[in-house]
Structure 1
Amino acid sequence: MNSSQQQPIKKIGIIGGGQLAWMMAGAAQKLNIELFIQTPKNTDPAVSIATNSIFAPIDDANATAQIAGLCDVITFENEFVNLEALNQLAQTGTLFRPSLNTLEPILDKYHQRCFMRDIGLPVPQFLSWDSPTTPQPLSYPLVMKARRHGYDGQGTIILKNPQDLETTWKSWGCPSVLLEEFIPFEQELAIIAARFPNGEIAIYPIVETQQENQVCRRVIAPATLTAEKTTEIEQIARTLLENLQAIGIFGIELFLTKQGKVLVNEVAPRTHNSGHFSLDACETSQFEQHLRAVCGLAPGQTTLNSAGAVMVNLLGYETCQNSYLEKRQRIADIPNAYLHWYGKTESRPGRKLGHVTVLLNSEPSELRQQALEISHQIESIWYP
């Protein structure tokens, strides 16, 4: 595989085999693309849709080299990679999209914060902290985040006082962490945007996300925002992707404060939970858009094909093996509902087992209320 090749890209290697890779299957078939997966377990969701899979840890660069030998380009389902090892592969001609240069400033959450601040994006106050003797000028409550490998609420905690900070930090093994101010937001928002090799950028409608225990529970599309705020957030996405020279799709999480200020929370260099609604509510899903960008194809349409949509994550609430067929059927029977079940064999609290998107048909002023009512209906069926 050579980065200077001009041949059409038809074989894509994906590092990671979870539901994000699994949801690329329909788009890959539509675009006549083969997917090759590197993932730890033969039970991971994307194994069932891959042309070939190599079972190895995500950060195993030797396995990535094997995948590279089968593919035209390599992309990522998650950020748990070993950049230093992958750089050696890149030097031998392996093509990565997004590139390793794009990933380098954003995989570490502290470095990501610094990068966004330095390119002029609005972010919460933050600092790196690695010792009780390190000055800690932020006021409480504050947020502590693991600098690497945090996801779905793991590696993020809200702390109320210095004793909480020191106790939790020690329980984490005394690492260097990111500390940032706690933002009492009015709304949590997200925007999905893709940048293409020619520099073109495709942006999806901004959504409202609702989290519980730092895990996304619901996504409402579109978010209720003024035209001015919409333009501001879209410009943040463009600024970020252009400065990163990104290729592929990115999920950008934001806060809207009670004072009307927009702050960037985090960025993920991949398809994102806040964009799942696009599978059923947009002409081009985020998964197809990512493959289009990686392959250098033309961008697809990102507009909603209904007045709005609500996406609800189906999270595990017990440790067991259960396919929840009866509950899934009741949810699927809701009008305009599209249920996606990831085929995971084990449920555990907080684990994403599937999601359901319901298309909405209300007037704009009533969309959010309809979304909340349908979310409550779904969750009353799902959770005991």
Structure 2
Amino acid sequence: MKRVGVIGGGQLAWMMGDAAKKLGVELVVQTPSSDDPAVAIAQDAILANVDDALSTEILAKRTDIITFENEFVNLDALSLIQDQGFCFRPRLEALTPLLDKYDQRSYLQNLGLPVPQFFALSQPKNLSSQIEQLGFPLVLKSRRHGYDGQGTFIIEDLASLQQKLNLHSIDVASSQAQFLIEEFVPFERELAIIAARSVEGEVVTYPVVETQQEQQVCRRVIAPADLTPNQVAEIEAIAHTLLNSLEVVGVFGIELFLTKAGKILINEIAPRTHNSGHFSIDACETSQFEQHLRAVCGLPLANPALHCASAVMVNLLGYEISTSHYHSQRQKLAAIPQAFVHWYGKTESRPGRKLGHVTVLSDDQSRDTMITIAHTIESIWYPS
């Protein structure tokens, strides 16, 4: 029986639990708190911050393989563990160009993959002319540790840019080194694709989905996205190019923009299972979590296809500070035909926190139908 160490113990690791049982895999998580969701399903837990490399060394000695639930790690420290012969999947070299968003953009550009225009604030030469070339609004992004919209700011003018930089540091040079600037993309829709690559180099892709964000946090995912065959083929090709170039083992999430002119641009890469793939638990032959464990354990990849015409996944986000488990709302959600409610067991709610999700399957592939179902879910979950 394989023992897989997981750095991180949130809902992504928690959702590996059923797949681990199915595959006969034991999970050991490294996570800060005994209240973190994955502690309840793991065979063992090391209570430590995810960037605590000394604790990761203990994790390595208790497991056969180490994988990641999140990317907030210290690669330099982990490389010393890898050098001792311990196995990380994906390998650390695959994460190296991705964790800093400027490095990620540069890597994608060097592969010839489509990305928005960007530059690093830490390179002040021609700064004013570069900003002038992009024009306002533009996007200011933290180079590290941003997720769910955190660390991403829409900037309307030069004064707002300077104010935002000054808020983050009294040392302007230090502040600039934390950020990159991108063109603002007036997209028609946001898209995502989950892709997996095996030890042998086989790549499989899940259906391309449409993601809908509010306040820069994912609210809904519609599978499959309403796209032309050429657009789907282009996105699948991006996934194959990226995973093969990095020699990834495991699941990656790739977020994209579809512009009004029909152009595909890569937004961000998540080197792990991803919120945009949660629909796969109930709607696909193989969930992204089972696929990830199959990949990292050296098992054959399985069929990622939908077994229904379409599905919609809605995140259940906190809207108040509370310790409620929201049993009444969850019962109403579960009563929706072909609905599957996933509750992460978090001990407290706060605005914007992901507490669970609902996936509803449908025999109707209409985007309007999926949006109507999503609004029904949200009318039950959120106070009017």
**Contact conserved, 1:284 with 1:301, CA < 8 A, in 2?**
yes
- Choose which of 112, 123, 137 in structure 2 pairs with 1:141: 137
User: 2:193 corresponds to which letter in structure 1?
Assistant: I
Deviations 1:282-304 (A, max 9, x none): 01000000000001111111110
Q: Distance in 1 between matches of 2:59 and 2:181?
A: 37
Q: Distance in 2 between matches of 1:196 and 1:128?
A: 34
1:155 is aligned to 151
Q: Distance in 2 between matches of 1:131 and 1:181?
A: 16
**Contact conserved, 1:132 with 1:166, CA < 8 A, in 2?**
no
Q: Distance in 2 between matches of 1:226 and 1:172?
A: 43
The answer to whether 1:38 aligns with 2:40 is: no
The answer to whether 1:108 aligns with 2:100 is: yes
1:297 is aligned to 299
Shift of 1:33: 0.2
**Contact conserved, 1:316 with 1:350, CA < 8 A, in 2?**
yes
The answer to whether 1:64 aligns with 2:60 is: no
2:201 is aligned to 199
Give the secondary-structure state (helix, strand or coil) at the position aligned to 2:62.
coil
The answer to whether 1:168 aligns with 2:164 is: yes
Q: Distance in 2 between matches of 1:229 and 1:318?
A: 40
Q: Distance in 2 between matches of 1:318 and 1:172?
A: 27
Q: Distance in 2 between matches of 1:175 and 1:14?
A: 33
Q: Distance in 1 between matches of 2:55 and 2:98?
A: 23
Over aligned residue pairs, what C-alpha RMSD do you find? 1.1
Q: Structure 1: which 4+ aligned runs deviate by more than 3 Å? A: 130-134
Deviations 1:6-27 (A, max 9, x none): xxx6100000000000000000
User: 1:148 corresponds to which letter in structure 2?
Assistant: R
User: 1:238 corresponds to which letter in structure 2?
Assistant: H
- Choose which of 307, 310, 324 in structure 1 pairs with 2:309: 307
Q: Distance in 1 between matches of 2:123 and 2:258?
A: 32
Match runs of 1:142-291 below 5 Å: 142-173=138-169, 174-176=175-177, 177-291=179-293
Q: Distance in 1 between matches of 2:327 and 2:141?
A: 36
User: 2:163 corresponds to which letter in structure 1?
Assistant: T
Deviations 1:112-140 (A, max 9, x none): 00000000000000011148886141211
User: 1:346 corresponds to which letter in structure 2?
Assistant: E
Deviations 1:318-365 (A, max 9, x none): 112111111111111100000000000111111000000000111x3x
- Choose which of 319, 330, 334 in structure 1 pairs with 2:336: 334
User: 1:267 corresponds to which letter in structure 2?
Assistant: I
**Contact conserved, 1:207 with 1:223, CA < 8 A, in 2?**
yes
User: 2:378 corresponds to which letter in structure 1?
Assistant: E
Shift of 1:172: 2.2
- Choose which of 354, 360, 363 in structure 1 pairs with 2:362: 360
Q: Distance in 2 between matches of 1:166 and 1:315?
A: 32
Shift of 1:54: 0.6
2:172 is aligned to none
Give the secondary-structure state (helix, strand or coil) at the position aligned to 1:69.
helix
User: 1:45 corresponds to which letter in structure 2?
Assistant: P
1:319 is aligned to 321
User: 2:24 corresponds to which letter in structure 1?
Assistant: N
Match runs of 1:368-379 below 5 Å: 368-379=367-378
Q: Distance in 2 between matches of 1:25 and 1:48?
A: 9
User: 1:14 corresponds to which letter in structure 2?
Assistant: V
Deviations 1:211-260 (A, max 9, x none): 01110000000000001111011000000001111110000000010011
Q: Distance in 1 between matches of 2:123 and 2:293?
A: 43
19-28 or 127-136, which moves further after superposition? 127-136
Q: Distance in 1 between matches of 2:259 and 2:284?
A: 28
Q: Distance in 2 between matches of 1:315 and 1:153?
A: 14
The answer to whether 1:15 aligns with 2:12 is: no
1:89 is aligned to 81
Give the secondary-structure state (helix, strand or coil) at the position aligned to 1:13.
strand
117-126 or 318-327, which moves further after superposition? 318-327
Question: Any unmatched runs of 5+ in structure 2?
Answer: 170-174
Shift of 1:170: 1.8
2:117 is aligned to 125
Give the secondary-structure state (helix, strand or coil) at the position aligned to 2:127.
coil
1:6 is aligned to none
1:4 is aligned to none
Q: Distance in 2 between matches of 1:297 and 1:346?
A: 37
Q: Distance in 1 between matches of 2:111 and 2:327?
A: 48
Q: Distance in 2 between matches of 1:82 and 1:172?
A: 22
Q: TM-score, normalised by structure 2?
A: 0.96
Give the secondary-structure state (helix, strand or coil) at the position aligned to 2:251.
strand
How many residues matched? 373
Q: Distance in 2 between matches of 1:310 and 1:48?
A: 27
